[in-house]
């Protein structure tokens, strides 16, 4: 990554132009053509620096329920449970973390009933639990826009 890559990343994380030719617009800010910006963005995506480009919807405003769940899983069962979790499109994030409980995942579904159903299924089929369901009582910030320094 060079300084122009970092500049592009800082722009397109929060200020991706909603316009006719977004990459040309970004290019004008960094002194490149739209095609040159697009080539860099494609490379950053291929290298895994960028995970996705597009819209991120607010789950609640989309009428969905979201929650964070925690469960302690013995080391030898992590792969099995991670594979089960991978099969549910409603489960969007899953992380192995330090401490107890060690597995933390987020569920976004149209109803709380559906979330309950998924958790019950994982607990029964996976033989793990209890799964703690921890919906936010208050949300202060969701801003996954990471200012990259050194630009």
Q: Which of residues 53-82 bind another protein (CB under 8 A)?
A: 53-59, 61-64, 68, 70, 82
Asked whether position 143 contacts another protein by CB under 8 A, the answer is yes
Asked whether position 116 contacts another protein by CB under 8 A, the answer is no
If phi > 0 it is left, if psi is from -120 to 50 it is alpha, else beta; for residue 46 that is alpha
Cβ neighbours of residue 143 closer than 8 Å, sequence gap 6 or more: none
CB of 54 to another protein, least distance (A): 5
| Among the listed residues 32, 40, 91, 118, the single contact to another protein using CB under 8 A | 91
CA distance 83 to 89: 12
Binding-residue total with another protein (CB under 8 A): 75
- What are φ and ψ of residue 2, in 5° steps? -105, -175
CB of 31 to another protein, least distance (A): 18
Cβ neighbours of residue 119 closer than 8 Å, sequence gap 6 or more: 69, 107, 131, 133
CB of 128 to another protein, least distance (A): 14
Asked whether position 35 contacts another protein by CB under 8 A, the answer is yes
**Binding residues for another protein restricted to 96-115, rule: CB under 8 A:** 96-99, 101-102, 104-105, 108
53 or 120, CB closer to another protein? 53
CA distance 113 to 132: 15
Asked whether position 4 contacts another protein by CB under 8 A, the answer is no
CA distance 54 to 16: 9
């Amino acid at each position: 990554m060079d300084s122009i890559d970092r500049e592009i990343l800082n722009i397109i994380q929060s200020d991706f132009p909603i316009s006719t030719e977004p990459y040309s617009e970004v290019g004008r800010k960094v002194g490149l053509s739209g095609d040159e910006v697009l080539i860099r963005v494609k490379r950053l995506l291929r290298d895994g620096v960028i995970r996705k480009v597009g819209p991120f919807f607010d789950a609640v405003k989309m009428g969905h329920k979201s929650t964070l769940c925690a469960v302690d899983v013995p080391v030898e069962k992590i792969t099995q449970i991670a594979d089960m979790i991978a099969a549910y499109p409603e489960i969007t994030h899953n992380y192995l973390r330090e401490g107890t409980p060690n597995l933390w995942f987020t569920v976004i579904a149209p109803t709380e009933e559906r979330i309950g159903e998924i958790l019950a299924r994982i607990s029964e089929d996976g033989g793990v639990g209890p799964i703690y369901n921890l919906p936010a009582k208050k949300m202060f910030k969701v801003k996954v826009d990471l200012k990259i320094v050194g630009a």
